Chain A
């Protein structure tokens, strides 16, 4: 048999050890190139700008699905609150986008005044512009850093990271596992959404943050170009996230993660501090989700508390399950496939289906179909769409030795029959 102990497997670079990663990166690069060529902004204009945005958003959803797969597929933590981290990332970048654009508008409008405006006047102008809709005219303390892009970018990582760290520390330390942990994460995202719905939360209540598609100072560039910038950014983030995730789940760390998923107590008796590992992966995946959100919402243009509703996180779990959890490309395929299909069905493009005299309108029936396919995948194909790749690669065939005794490839081998 292959000499696995020689260390030869280890010395090669990561991407060569995991050919699937290389294939994935190549596909992503080709896809990015293809979309660019077909786009309105830089290419021949076959793909509309709004569809470029849809594709860019899909890449962000793939990234958050990847994060979900890290905690659920590899570590067995079924978090049903990951879209809270995604939303926090979106809010963090949205605050700067909204502040800066409003500031430019206010400065513009005050420039016509006979006296040059004082900083206080500008600040008041921005505040009343942004918060007029919730009946306030002052900046809440939470906006203290909104003027600074670097600080808000730091918040994209820190806000979800800190929330995950505190929440995870409390939950894992008390050894909350399984369905109880899932319920707790649902409660977390629900509580956050309800808080943000309040007008005095400081983030404009149910109006949320809007106009995020306009980059401050770059109004003249045009959405066709900006959409491609974000598309590239999303593709780059997904590629880097994929390599990072591959690195994390490869080697001994991945071994320990899968060990925790399969038998937590055993890992503990091996001497690994299970809680610390869970906390690490939970926080890392929250940070990745936050970055995905920060790239998603400028393409969506608007973020409001409904984005953090519990159902959003459940959808995320459904994507990963349908795509195939426990394998990174499975999560990506699932998110891309289901969310694009969902766009198609709910966009009214899917032709209606006549069953007898009843007309199935997919806009309403899509969620039913999605629910049924989730149940079907869970029952009949737990490996999801990713399992199809196994069929192609025949990876499931055990590494047996000796000659086979029967006619088929699955037949007993010499050594097994000897026992």
Chain B
């Protein structure tokens, strides 16, 4: 299977601190992957580099088939190419309704003029309805998203990501601050999403990672420490030392 995203030899340093150190990572077209690691391991910087927020000092980032470099592209261009990102803190547009949030995320032309003349068709409303069902917010479409609970905001953001129809989803700590029931639902949404696209989940919580039941990449000090099934990596001596042992 050819890789959808291939990051090779990427290094980033901030004022001498190496946030990423010769990091290499690749993921296939429909794969669920969990990325774990202690604080400061470079998980967020890794996402910043892939989404174009941070320029790496060296290394290559190849995307798609045939592979094109993502280096030097703007955040919006990378998003349009098919990389969707969910932040740790739920970032939805609180002043706008759930429906407006989803409508904005729908995969449509993004230039000012096409947005200005955009008229939603019935298929768009149908798609929003469908997404709302997936994330369990069908009854909340007309509400301002600022009124939603924390968990609902997280789902709305995941829904917005799905609406973008990305090929790769980068999800930063989706289960943070969720109740047990909410976590289970989140697990289900993510595993469903990974059926026809690549999903990378950055997570602290081991139980949550176990439920995802997927390949795990352990980051430490900006590079990959171990990779494999959860049982495999948790059996790894280095991993126990730097991460699980604490």
Contacts and interface: CB of A to CB of B under 8 A. Distances in A.
A354 interface: no
Given A253-B116, A262-B95, A263-B91, A5 B164 contact: no
A276 B125 contact: no
Contacts of A262: 93-95
Nearest to B91: A266
B93 A259 contact: yes
A380 to B, nearest CB: 21
Contact of B99 (A5, A266, A273, A276): A5
A269 B122 contact: no
A7 B127 CA distance: 12
Q: Which one of A7, A252, A276, A400 has the highest number of Cβ atoms from chain B below 10 Å of its Cβ?
A: A252
A263 B51 contact: no
Interface in B120-158: 120-122, 125-126, 128-129, 139, 141-144, 147, 149
A399 B143 contact: yes
B112 A253 contact: yes
A4 interface: yes
B160 A4 contact: no
A255 B100 contact: yes
Contacts of A419: 149
A404 to B, nearest CB: 15
A398 B51 contact: no
A258 B128 contact: no
B129 A259 contact: no
Contacts of A276: 111-112
A256 interface: yes
* Secondary structure call for the A interface: helix
A218 to B, nearest CB: 39
Nearest to A280: B112
A8 B115 CA distance: 20
A271 B79 contact: yes
A255 B76 contact: no
A398 B87 CA distance: 26
Interface string A233-274: 000000000000000100111011011001101101111111
Interface in A264-296: 265-266, 268-274, 276-277, 280
A398 B147 contact: yes
A6 interface: yes
Interface residues of A, number: 34
A271 B76 contact: yes
Given A7-B125, A269-B79, A255 B103 contact: yes
A399 B112 contact: no
Contact of A253 (B118, B122, B125, B142): B118
B79 A258 contact: no
Contact of A255 (B53, B74, B77, B104): B104
A135 to B, nearest CB: 47
Contacts of B97: 4
Interface string B201-215: 000000000000000
Given A4-B142, A255-B103, A399-B143, A272 B93 contact: no
A266 B116 contact: no
Contacts of A269: 51, 75-76, 79, 84-85
Interface string A1-24: 110111100100000000000000
Contacts of B141: 4-5
B110 interface: yes
Contact of B95 (A256, A258, A398, A399): A258
B89 to A, nearest CB: 11
A419 B149 CA distance: 9
B218 to A, nearest CB: 26
Given A255-B96, A401-B139, A7 B115 contact: no
B109 to A, nearest CB: 10
B3 interface: no
Contacts of A277: 112, 115
B246 interface: no
B76 A252 contact: no
Contacts of A6: 125
Contacts of A263: 91, 93
A399 B84 CA distance: 30
Contact of A273 (B74, B93, B147): B74
B156 to A, nearest CB: 12
Contact of A270 (B94, B96, B104, B113): B104
A398 B143 contact: yes
B105 interface: yes
Contacts of A272: 76, 110, 115
B91 A274 contact: no
A129 to B, nearest CB: 46
B105 A270 contact: yes
A4 B122 CA distance: 12
A253 B115 contact: yes
Contact of B164 (A265, A270, A398, A401): A270
A272 B51 CA distance: 13
Interface of B: 51, 53, 74-77, 79-80, 84-85, 87, 91, 93-97, 99-100, 103-105, 110-113, 115-116, 118-122, 125-126, 128-129, 139, 141-144, 147, 149, 160, 164
Given A6-B125, A256-B115, 17 more contacts: A5-B99, A5-B125, A5-B129, A5-B141, A10-B120, A258-B93, A262-B94, A263-B91, A266-B93, A269-B84, A271-B79, A271-B80, A271-B164, A273-B76, A280-B113, A399-B143, A401-B139
Closest 4 CB pairs of A and B: A271-B79, A280-B112, A268-B75, A271-B80
